[in-house]
Amino acid sequence: MLVFEAKLEGTNEQYGKLDEAIRTARFVRNSCVRYWMDNRDIGRYELSAYCAVLAKEFEWANNLNSMARQASAERAWSAISRFYDNCKKNKPGKKGYPRFKKEQTHGSVEYKTSGWRLSADRRYITFSDGFEVGTFKMWGTRDLHFYQLKQFKRVRVVRRADGYYVQFCVDQERLEKREPTLKTVGIDVGLNHFYTDSDGQTVANPRHLRKSEKSLKRLQRRLSKTKKGSKNRAKFRNKLARAHLKVSRQRKDFAVKTARCVVQSNDLVAYEDLKVRNMVSQRVGRVPRLEATGEPVRVRNRHLAKSISDAAWTQFREWVEYFGKVFGVVTVAVPPHYTSQNCSNCGKVVKKSLSTRTHTCHHCGHTQDRDWNAARNILERGLRTVGHTGTSTSVDETDQYSRLGNSFKQVNS
């Protein structure tokens, strides 16, 4: 499935009607969540049928396309099923109980195969549901002529701080060819450097949030001084949202480009299977009023939480796995235990604190940068556990690289 995005150009009146459609979609989604809370034994089909009840009960809800109402019900069921899965897996901490969506600077409404149509030149889109939004011009770099109309399975309108966007979900598998490099790499992510690979190469940490933090704090102070409900407050709220949107786009752009470069340059990529959510919080002892629950309380780590979140290691990993599927490269997630403590030369355990940045083995005398040593350990574990559960490899790729495991070790030695 491919997702193409373009910006919509229209009038203020059209934007207002799009806001009405987004609010209606949010109402349908929240109503389905409430209906599930009152009737816990229902499933996704009952929620889909409940959309027709809402359309009859509320005249303005009937203006939304029927398939768009069903898509909103599917969003509600997605949150409910995720909550059920977390409960079955006994996930520690909060299980993600479904919550109601509130009015925000961003939102979306999703159509399926009806309620919209493209122009002959594929540069304009018209929404034909009861809101009578009209025709918008699309600004983007993707040429939609390469795909047939039956391949467009979903059309989503997204509102962001800087405007309205349309996303096309195209039923098309993305596969790209590349020449084998016979290279493997292990990656150790960090804060001093974004990552250090098994060859000793490092990539600087961009620290997008830290660089923009001064301007963000200034805008936040200006926003807090405005009167609630005033136009001035809405203006500064939009400015602050635009600033945060820019940081998130910078972070995503860096993750995409870095992950693509790593995958294209190697035939196997090994990385740590980090639980970032647990790293930005720390466990403390039980408090008396929660003693009966038996669950420890989590408190935010005030020292490294912001830096870890700014680095976006999870987003980088997701793009590495995605490009691994696109280019046919094996990506292996290895357990992070003792990757920094073990010596990559002799395998002995050399305990060290987080402040110790140089690995010095007292058994064999090997001296190396701490992150470089960890990256070499990650690569070796990846070569030994190619194709384990949780990687983005296929069966054929696993067999192929298992046969080439010895040659990979010789190349990297």
Distance CA 29, CA 98 (A): 11
Same domain, 204 and 148: no
Instruction: Indicate whether 301 and 400 sit together in one domain.
Output: yes
SS3 188: strand
pLDDT of 396 strictly over 70: no
Across the range 168-173, mean pLDDT stands at 90
pLDDT at 103: 83
Question: Are 159 and 208 members of one domain?
Answer: no
- Do 345 and 271 share a structural domain? yes
Question: Amino acid identity of 12?
Answer: N
The answer to whether residues 192 and 290 belong to one domain is yes
pLDDT tens figures, 194-211: 999 988 899 999 999 999
d(CA 373, CA 368): 6
- Whole-angstrom Cα distance, residue 403 to residue 381? 16
φ, ψ (nearest 5 deg) of residue 281: -140, 160
200 lies in the same domain as 90: no
**Residue ending a domain, choose from 170, 201, 225:** 170
Question: Looking at residue 325, what is its pLDDT?
Answer: 93
Q: Could you tell me if 324 and 290 lie in one domain?
A: yes
Global confidence as pTM: 0.81
pLDDT of residue 405 exceeding 60, the answer is no
**Domain boundary at 170, 202, 231, which?**
170
CA distance 342 to 346: 8
Tell me whether residue 175 is in a domain.
no
Q: What's the total number of domains in the chain?
A: 2
Please give the residue that has the higher pLDDT: either 51 or 103: 51
Q: Please give the C-alpha separations between residue 181 and each of 256, 268, 315, 318, in angstroms, as whole numbers.
A: 21, 10, 25, 22
Q: Is residue 95 part of a domain?
A: yes
133 and 206 in a single domain? The answer is: no
> What type of residue sits at position 221?
R
Domain around 94: 2-170
**Quick one: angle between helices 395-403 and 405-412, nearest 10?**
60
112 and 205 both lie in a single domain: no
| pLDDT in the model for residue 409 | 36
Last residue of a domain, one of 170, 202, 226: 170
Mean pLDDT across the stretch 383-403? Answer: 48
Residues 252, 352, single domain; the answer is yes
Q: Is residue 233 part of a domain?
A: no
Residue 22 in any domain: the answer is yes
Report yes or no: 72 and 110 within 8 Å, Cβ to Cβ.
yes
Name the more confident of 224 and 338. 224
287 pLDDT more than 50:
no
Mean of pLDDT values over 16-38: 94
**134 and 200, same domain (yes or no):** no
- Looking at the structure, tell me whether residues 343 and 381 fall in a common domain: yes
Where do we find the tokens 């149509």?
117
Length of the chain as a residue count: 413
Q: Which amino acid is located at 151 in the chain?
A: Q
Residue 105 banded pLDDT, cuts 50, 70, 90: confident
Q: What is the rounded CA–CA span in Å between residue 194 and residue 316? A: 10
